Structure 1
Amino acid sequence: MTKKQRREAGARRQQQARQRLRPPPLLQARDERSVSCTTFNILAPIYKRMDSENGRESQNRANWFSRNEKIIDRLLGDRSSIICLQEVWLGNDELVNMYEKRLGDANYTLFKLARTNNRGDGLLTAVHRNYFCVLNHRELLFNDFGDRVAQLLHVESAIPFLQNRSSSYVQQQSLIVNTHLVFPHDHSLSIVRLKQVYKILQYIEAYQEEHKLGPMPIILCGDWNGSKRGQVYKFLRSQGFVSSYDTAHQYSDSEEDAHKWVSHRNHRGNICGVDFIWLLNPDKCRKPLKTSWNEAVFGIIKYLLLQVASLPEENAFALLKADSSDDRITYSSFCQALCQVRNGPPRSCKF
């Protein structure tokens, strides 16, 4: 082999090596490399109040049909990889067919889950087939106050991604959760909302153990019915989750950044930021789930003692007096103390 032939052979080998490392053509476009997510409480027509005569939008087909057509137009225009909707009027076949037809035609795979006890609305999660294939799908029924539910999707990227520390491409697996927590009508529901999030994280842990899954990205979407100042937010932060919107805008967990954005006007007329897309990266160090749960529960109790019972901070837990010589409080005394704080019987004393 001449020197020229050796140079040409070497050049061919280098070119072949570069081609092996080159991502597939679909990955070249910037929009296909990015994964986007939309969470949206679309306000079910059975709950949307009309200005006249205290009626509901569900009584006027033209109104709810037009509004939901515009919602779908916006969703298709955004073309998110993942769409998580809450308060979808699943009790109306025409509306459901509208979402299934238009999102399905746009290459989305859809999953629906109605709230328990025939509440009429529920969740809808849509995943774009260009980005993900769905490996598994589970339904989580909380079976507690408010008939709330959650969806879990186990997905795999449809296009390979380059691993950070290697030259190989992998199809990344992830877990996606869509939920809508109960509204905090009063302080007693704070523990219920926290328990709903705890159930979600417990279920995720159990699912990963059942299927022998390693660390992977976890995305939690939905209407959390609580702001950055609440215990649910602090609980998820203690578990290593980050709010994607706050991260993108470089907002901190400080009090001054607690109300930098608004996502919702609730039925009381208050504007607030309660819709979150939480992300947990697989390399994030996490506290034991039980530790975060205990901290959050005592945070709620302390808030009730300080704000509701008007106790000074240095004496916040004085109401929980020990009733035995070894400085412990019994379960019945603990519940009795909480009843005093709430000025009424508790819905539940289960922690």
Structure 2
Amino acid sequence: LHAVKRPGDKQDGLAVFVDKRKFELHYVENVEFDNAGDRVALLLHVATKWDRKHTPLAQRSFLVVNSHLTFPHNQMYASLRLTQIDRVLTAARKYIARQDLYDVPVLLCGDFNDFNDPVYRLVTKHGFTSTFAQVHGREARITHCNHNNREVGVDFIFGAHLQQQDALTTPSDTPTGRTLDGGNPRLQLAPVGCHLVPRRLPDVVRLKRPQFGHDWRHVQAPVLLSDEEELVDYWRMVSDHRPLVATFDVLDGLSSSRAVAAPLVESAASVEMRTALDADFPDDEAVDGLSP
């Protein structure tokens, strides 16, 4: 468990859990936003344990970044939120440059407050793709009911330098294989699934504000709950958001065999509302925002 608390007297923060039976943790950074709001981010350098004696670290590595941006109370917060996400991307970019990890997969997850605001557009312009949208062809409709009782889809697991699922069956020495600088194949991640918890409920199920104080001791397992509203409310004991889970196929760059990893990231951050913010971003081709 790696966690960081928000500055000041705020009680919430961020946490990332790493299964050390399957992965090595090589670096953890608490990304400070300084004067850009009382928020934080976590950056982790994770590597598989496959063939450690013969496979260089860079070829087994990926990055995980977790953040929760400031709530957009009004349009004045647009600039602040863009500054925050820029600090996050800059931290990842600098670490990649220091460690020569160019082209490794990067997972960026958290509460981004909207699916069509300047932050979302900036992230996608800089080479990130929403895993839910990649799997389902659209974003999740409802992941949270904010304090204005608006039902919004605001939680994301973004990925950069991810592999297409059909490319995982292609040997790494073919032209489709992604490589690090110098021609060495790198770890490949391909999204194979992304869903909200509980999984059997669609992403359009209505949400309400959490009603704390329920006695759930009679429920031995959430599967026993039949009422949709009650089932969603049960899971919100963990968060006021429905948890978002992504699953990836993982392929060692030196092997043509496939291996399936457990869900790597869960995002159940906290947000308050969605807002419509106008920003002028060029409609040119997306660029890789992680390159120097």
TM-score by length of 2: 0.52
User: What corresponds to 1:181 in structure 2?
Assistant: 69
User: What corresponds to 1:276 in structure 2?
Assistant: 156
Aligned pairs for 1:107-118 (under 5 A) are 110-118=1-9
- The partner residue of 1:207 within 95, 110, 115 is 95
1:212 shift after superposition: 2.5
User: What corresponds to 2:284 in structure 1?
Assistant: none
In percent, how many aligned pairs have the same letter? 32
1:158-185 deviations in whole A, cap 9, x for unaligned?
Answer: 2369xxxxxxxx9520110011000000
Q: CA RMSD in A?
A: 2.7
Equivalent AA in structure 1 for residue 148 of structure 2:
R
Structure with max Cα Rg: 1
User: What corresponds to 1:267 in structure 2?
Assistant: 147
| Other structure's SS at 2:85 match | helix
- Contact 1:133–1:157, Cα closer than 8 Å, also in 2: yes
Q: Does 1:124 align with 2:15?
A: yes
Q: Does 1:198 align with 2:98?
A: no
Equivalent AA in structure 1 for residue 120 of structure 2:
Y
1:260-303 deviations in whole A, cap 9, x for unaligned?
Answer: 5211111111111110000001669xxxxxxxxxxxxxx84569
- Contact 2:36–2:84, Cα closer than 8 Å, also in 1: no
Partners of 1:146 and 1:152 in 2: how far apart?
Answer: 18
- Contact 2:113–2:155, Cα closer than 8 Å, also in 1: yes
Q: Does 1:222 align with 2:110?
A: yes
Aligned pairs for 1:291-330 (under 5 A) are 300=278
User: What corresponds to 2:120 in structure 1?
Assistant: 233
1:222 shift after superposition: 0.6
Aligned pairs for 1:107-186 (under 5 A) are 110-159=1-50, 172-186=60-74
Aligned pairs for 1:67-146 (under 5 A) are 110-146=1-37
Equivalent AA in structure 1 for residue 70 of structure 2:
V
Partners of 1:266 and 1:160 in 2: how far apart?
Answer: 46
User: What corresponds to 1:246 in structure 2?
Assistant: 133
1:121 shift after superposition: 1.4
Runs of at least 5 residues in structure 1 that lack an aligned partner in the other structure: 1-109, 162-169, 252-257, 285-298, 304-351
Equivalent AA in structure 2 for residue 181 of structure 1:
L
Alignment CA distance shift 1:160-1:270 (3 Å): farther
Partners of 1:235 and 1:214 in 2: how far apart?
Answer: 20
Alignment CA distance shift 1:302-1:175 (3 Å): closer
Report the count of equivalent residues. Answer: 166
Alignment CA distance shift 1:171-1:210 (3 Å): closer
Partners of 1:222 and 1:271 in 2: how far apart?
Answer: 17
1:124 shift after superposition: 0.9
| Other structure's SS at 2:76 match | helix
| Other structure's SS at 2:50 match | coil
1:208 shift after superposition: 1.3
- Contact 1:149–1:180, Cα closer than 8 Å, also in 2: yes
Equivalent AA in structure 2 for residue 120 of structure 1:
Q
Runs of at least 5 residues in structure 2 that lack an aligned partner in the other structure: 53-57, 163-177, 180-276, 282-292
Q: Which has the higher strand share?
A: 2
| Other structure's SS at 1:127 match | coil
Higher RCO (C-alpha under 8 Å, 6+ residues apart): 2
Q: Which has the higher helix share?
A: 1
- Contact 1:241–1:279, Cα closer than 8 Å, also in 2: yes
- Contact 1:113–1:139, Cα closer than 8 Å, also in 2: yes
1:48-91 deviations in whole A, cap 9, x for unaligned?
Answer: xxxxxxxxxxxxxxxxxxxxxxxxxxxxxxxxxxxxxxxxxxxx
- Contact 2:144–2:152, Cα closer than 8 Å, also in 1: yes
- Contact 1:116–1:141, Cα closer than 8 Å, also in 2: no
